Structure 1
Amino acid sequence: MANVALLGSTGMVGSHILTNLLSNNKVSRVDTISRRAPTVAGDAPQTKLTTVVSDNSSKWAEQFSALTPTPDILISSLGTTRGAAGGFENQYKLDHGVNLDIAKAAREAGTKVYVLISSSGASKDSSIHYSRMKGEIEEGVKELGFERTVILRPGLIAGTREESRPVEAVARFVASWAGKLHSSLKDGWAQESDVIGQAAVKAGLKALEGDVPEGSEKVWLISGKSIIDLATA
């Protein structure tokens, strides 16, 4: 049985990760740290769910360190948009700064597996700000040396968001239309948020058990259609 901590539990992917964690019989405890309580916590309190709610994200690493017992797995789907953050500098502070601060706290506490929801095109050498930031987060986490690090790189995340993102909404409509014609027209570049959530939980538990592909003993990278294949296996 695994103890799991989750960041980004109120987001599009994170909410599905949380649902999967709570329903998984291999998970004994789930801790979330967020600015507001996850919807599932308010609608249907779960005995194995503990929520830490704080609007001061600079305290989250300290709050993670206080979790007892120490989580075996940390899953992060934490992220925001430049618009919601009020500019790229603030977005970087949350997406990069807070993610790595908590990852460091987890590594020091003895967490064994780190699962990161990243993005296709992530690269520390990218000329695109967002992709470079995601790549820098990946590199920072890998340098911490968890027993196993799992990185999911979805393409377009399909599904329904609470907040408005007009450009993404158009792309999600196209993905939905393409998927109805044939899954092969969609699966390589767009994955449903609930499927990503399933894959993240499965990957984290497999990594904890040492059940990872050959050559991925330290860092397991899962992208595109491989996310769907893992979720539906």
Structure 2
Amino acid sequence: MASASGLRAVVVGGTGGIGRFILGELVCSPAYTEVLSLCRKETTLPESFNATESDLKKLKQEIIDFDLEKLTVENCKSYFEGKDVLFVALSRTWNDSKRLPGRAIDNFKHVHVHLVVRCAEIAKAAGVRHVSMLSFSGANSTSMFDMMKVKGEADDAVEALGFERTSIWKPSLVNKGPNATFVEKLLKIFMKTIFVGDLGLTIRFESEQWALGKTEFPPVSRHEVRDILEIMRQAKEAEAKSKDNSDVPVAAAGGNETGEKQAADEQMGKQPTGQQPDCDQGSCGVAASENDDKQEE
């Protein structure tokens, strides 16, 4: 269970379109007292989080080299020691993979498998108990499609490390609001989506439920779209209840009255409170090639 001083997290990929919202949720949550972001460049939280000075004091951003020869247990174990949860949001889009020298599949796999698994291996060696990583709907190591196969290989490899708790998130198209790529905006016309702010809330909420012993989970959960929506519902209910019982908002997007909050939610790509995202298992089973959280190595 969590220590008396609160939860401590390390995040890799916290500068991307999804990772920034995970980072914001952790920084603004009372349950987390320390958040370390390992990154190639520093980032800022989305403005809609309204993070206080006290919140921001929890956050430390450490610029590191993601070269596999340098990203080793010997060099990086200290970053992970004493942490409760590793959140992995590293990603590279297929289009970016095609623009780089060499084969697109190798460039894609370098980030989605080699870097992801290496970070998880270091965390495991450092005693981190819970890994929570982004994948996407349809990922399967036996798939005939390269993207799905690669993501599935990463999922299998991280699960095989044997963390006390492994959470693998498999959303479909994620609505990143104004930060969406052209392809994502186009696909929104035809596909139902999960809002990026809601996904960040859900990932943070699940980690707290397990660490604080509030909910029992199996050792491994591969959260498909239907599972994500159910945990999201629970997270929103808990958030609303907390706000009813306190003048101080618990989660990042809170603190505004109804009209003001809805405007903030729209800006951050978050579904307004009280509304369920228009997504279901049947219509969200296919991940788009531009679905990824864009992140440098």
Q: In proportion to residue count, which structure has more strand?
A: 1
CA–CA separation in structure 2 for the residues paired with 1:68 and 1:209? 20
1:143 has 2:144 as partner: no
Distance 1:65 1:125, change over 3 A: same
Q: In proportion to residue count, which structure has more helix?
A: 1
Matches within 5 A, 1:199-210: 199-210=202-213
Partner in structure 2 of residue 36 of structure 1: 41
Matches within 5 A, 1:165-176: 165-175=181-191
Identity fraction in percent: 23
- Cα deviation, 1:188-225, whole Å, max 9, x if unaligned, reads xx211111111111112222234445xx4210222214
Q: What's the secondary structure of 2:79's corresponding residue?
A: coil
Matches within 5 A, 1:1-233: 1-40=6-45, 46-58=56-68, 59-62=70-73, 64-67=76-79, 69-85=81-97, 86=100, 87-160=104-177, 162=179, 165-175=181-191, 186=192, 190-212=193-215, 216-233=217-234
Gapped regions of structure 1 (runs ≥ 5): 176-185
CA–CA separation in structure 1 for the residues paired with 2:89 and 2:66? 18
* Residue 18 (structure 1) shift: 0.6
Q: What CA RMSD, in Å, does the superposition of the two structures yield over aligned residues?
A: 2.4
CA–CA separation in structure 1 for the residues paired with 2:112 and 2:13? 10
Distance 1:49 1:60, change over 3 A: farther
In the superposition, the TM-score normalised over structure 2's length comes to 0.67
CA contact (8 A) 1:118 1:134 kept: yes
Q: What's the secondary structure of 2:142's corresponding residue?
A: coil
Partner in structure 1 of residue 278 of structure 2: none
Distance 1:103 1:68, change over 3 A: closer
Gapped regions of structure 2 (runs ≥ 5): 1-5, 235-297
Q: What's the secondary structure of 1:28's corresponding residue?
A: strand
* Residue 69 (structure 1) shift: 4.5
- Cα deviation, 1:69-128, whole Å, max 9, x if unaligned, reads 521100111111122232221121111100000100100110000001110001110011
Partner in structure 1 of residue 283 of structure 2: none
Distance 1:102 1:126, change over 3 A: same
* Residue 5 (structure 1) shift: 0.6
- Which AA in structure 2 matches 1:37? E
CA contact (8 A) 1:113 1:146 kept: yes
* Residue 55 (structure 1) shift: 4.8
In the superposition, the TM-score normalised over structure 1's length comes to 0.84
* Residue 39 (structure 1) shift: 1.8
CA contact (8 A) 1:112 1:208 kept: no
Distance 1:218 1:168, change over 3 A: same
* Residue 140 (structure 1) shift: 0.4
Determine which structure has more spread, i.e. the larger CA radius of gyration: 2
CA contact (8 A) 1:198 1:231 kept: yes
CA contact (8 A) 2:12 2:87 kept: yes
CA contact (8 A) 2:81 2:126 kept: no
* Residue 168 (structure 1) shift: 2.1
* Residue 141 (structure 1) shift: 0.7
CA–CA separation in structure 2 for the residues paired with 1:89 and 1:19? 31
Q: What's the secondary structure of 1:30's corresponding residue?
A: strand
Q: What's the secondary structure of 1:124's corresponding residue?
A: coil
